[in-house]
Amino acid sequence: ELRIPKSVKKIEKHVFYETPLKDIHFEGTKAEWEAIEKDSRWDIVAEPYPAPRRLDCTIHCTDGDAIIGG
């Protein structure tokens, strides 16, 4: 589980690399979550051949949930 403040403006690549996250709590709205600049590989958690494995979790926002992956 992880808590991200709404003051975050950018998420870099591999920030969640090798983490078993299932829940992220974002202290803003779904629209604010979508507005965060995210590197194209921000949600990569592992890089096995032949393709990378991506984050599969729920982003809990103040106005509802956003599902990543799955």
In tens, the pLDDT along 4-48 reads 999 999 999 989 998 888 999 999 999 999 999 999 999 999 987
Give the CA count within 13 Å in the CB-facing half-sphere of 56. 6
Q: Residue 61: is its pLDDT beyond 80?
A: yes
Return the pLDDT at 49.
75
Q: Tell me, what's the pLDDT at 1?
A: 84
Q: Residue 42: how many CB atoms within 10 A of its CB?
A: 19
Contacts (Cβ under 8 Å, ≥6 apart) of 4: 24, 25, 26, 27
List, in order, residues 6 or more apart from 35 with CB less than 8 Å away: none
Q: Which of 49, 48, 38 is nearest to 16 (CA)?
A: 38
